[in-house]
Chain A
Amino acid sequence: MRWRRIKDSLATRSMYLAVALANSIVFLVALGLFVKARPILATTSVVQLLFSSTWHPLRGQFGFYPFIVGTLAVTAIAMILAIPVCLLSAIYLSEYAHRRVRELVRPVIDLLAGIPSVIYGFWAVIVIVPLVRATGGALGSSTTGYSLLAGGIILAIMVFPIIISVSTEVLQTVPVEAREASLALGATRWETVKHVVVRSALRGIVASIVLGFSRAFGETMAVLMVVGNVPKVPTSLFDPAYPLPALIANNYGEMMSIPLYDSALMLAALVLLLVVAGFNLLAHFTLLRIERRS
């Protein structure tokens, strides 16, 4: 009896230890990156870092502006492409599709989510890049195809599964009674969707988009493989760009040999972490409230 009690209390203690560890990881990561980023923050002002376009690591000049613009641009393109496709798909799955179709499509979408990002990148190099090159050529701009647009397209595809599965789930939490009330008043199915279902699920849909955004924002390999990686502010869809994650991934090799370079890259990682964690928490609270209500 005593042994059982001791075992129980030991088990409890180790579980709490695991919880404490799991909880501290996010802080440890942020702290570690911050400590490493301090040297560069000490020499250069944040404004300088964020808004200068001069990127000369050898001369100690680290202006993140082109990379920040690159990240934002490629993410924005991805979201513009993905949002309509995903929402229309989600509405179809939730409101129109037969239950069996929904159950068939769901694992397929999960499968899409599980494909490694290098595979997406690989596919994009083979399929998307030539397509963009041809389109660019037809529009009269000579491009290699490795461009903002190619990066945006592959990112859009990568966020499909997140936005579709979360927003389908949210749409399904809208009570049947709400739909019935609208249909009973003589609304068509689409009008019901438009005025009742989507409206009451709006917060959750926004949350699903936020989740997709944060996934796109930090995605590294697939984008890196197709976006061209030229540290200049892009001016057209067919220009190459250089997002922050790609910057980190491409330069880990030499970062230890140039002063402050590693510090600059760790700062970039910290920025990614903070932005993405912030957006994730926003989505977390929104979805939590929906879950509690339903």
Chain B
Amino acid sequence: MGARRLEEAVFKALMLASLGLVLAVLAAIVVVVMARGASALSLSMLTQTPKGGYYLGKEGGIANAIVGSLYLAFGASVLSILLSLPTAFALQKEYAGRRLASITRLSLDALWGTPSIVYGAFGFIIMRYLGIGTSLLGGILALSLLMLPIMTRAMEEAIRMVPLELKEISYSMGATRIETTLAVVLRQALPGIITAVVLAFGRGIGDAASILFTAGYTDHIPRSLLDPTASLPLAVFFQLGTPFPEVQRRAYASALILLVIVLLASLAARLLSRRFSKHIVR
């Protein structure tokens, strides 16, 4: 009995240590990024675009990357919603048969884990085919591919949770499928759908590999969809790679801003879904 107890105690200690390690790593990441970033952050970092000699340590800020990232992530979210929402709706029983639904889930799962560098490469091919260079549009296209499976799966899960009885009521009053979907299903699933969008937004804004080829990098804030654009993840990447400590400090600040946006998005998902759950049936 003693040995059995001992084994249990040993493994329990190992488990606690493992979980502790995981949580400690998370804390270390957040703390290090916050601490380093906070010391490097200044108002001009947030409000200015790079001036001459910026990459040698002179004046300027990363407003180009902040605005660029927001453009990219918003644009890609919109594009992705246009495809995700109808797809998620179509996976309801009234629409897709069992086979089509499972095939669609399968291809979404195949897309889900596809490395973002692959989307970047594919986006690059498409852009070459269409004859556009590195641009906001190209970045949005590549990012929306990355967001699509994340968004669709999360939306579909929310829609699947809508009680069948609720739809029955709507149908029993003579509603068509689209009327039921828009008036009842959309409303009931709205908190989950919003969470899905914000989740995908958070993933999208942090991704670097897909926009590396497609969005390019520039010191200016883009004026049109065909202008190249800077982005926060690439600002971290490029500036950290320079040999100048002054510029590296800006990478710290960029990382902090990016992390804060991602954390805010995840917080917003929680708050928004509560805000929109006024009417929903539990």
Report if A and B touch in the complex (beta carbons < 8 A): yes
Interface contact B110-A111, CB-CB below 8 Å:
no
Asked if B148 lies at the interface with its beta carbon under 8 angstroms from chain A, I say yes
| A33 close to B110 (CB less than 8 A) | no
Partner of A8, one of B5, B21, B177: B177
Secondary structure of the B side of the interface?
helix
- Any chain A CB within 8 A of the CB of B173? no
Q: Does A51 interact with chain B (Cβ within 8 Å)?
A: no
Cα distance A281–B112 when bound, in Å?
Answer: 10
Bound: A41/B138 CA distance, A:
27
Identify the closest chain A residue to B134 (Cβ): A252
Within 8 A of B (CB), among A40-94: 84-86, 88-89, 91-93
A248 in contact with B18 (CB, 8 Å):
no
Write out, one digit per residue, whether chain A residues 1-26 have a CB within 8 A of any chain B CB (1) or not (0): 00011011001101111110111011
Listed stretches B47-55, B87-95, B219-227; interface member: B87-95
A188 on the interface (CB 8 Å rule)? yes
Are A277 and B114 in contact (CB-based, < 8 A)?
A: yes
- A74 to chain B minimum Cβ distance, whole angstroms, is 14
A86–B23 Cα distance when bound, in Å, is 12
Instruction: List residues of B whose CB falls within 8 A of some A CB.
Output: 4-5, 7-8, 11-12, 14-19, 21-23, 25-26, 28-29, 32-33, 36, 82-84, 86-87, 89-91, 95-96, 100, 103-122, 124-126, 145, 148, 152, 176-179, 181, 199, 202-203, 205-209, 212-213, 233-234, 236-237, 240, 251-252, 255, 258-259, 262-263, 265-266
Residues of A near any B CB (own CB < 8 A): 4-5, 7-8, 11-12, 14-19, 21-23, 25-26, 28-29, 32-33, 35-36, 84-86, 88-89, 91-93, 96, 105, 108-112, 114-123, 125-127, 157, 160, 164, 188-191, 211, 214-215, 217-221, 225, 245, 248-249, 252, 265-266, 269, 272-273, 276-277, 279-281, 283-284
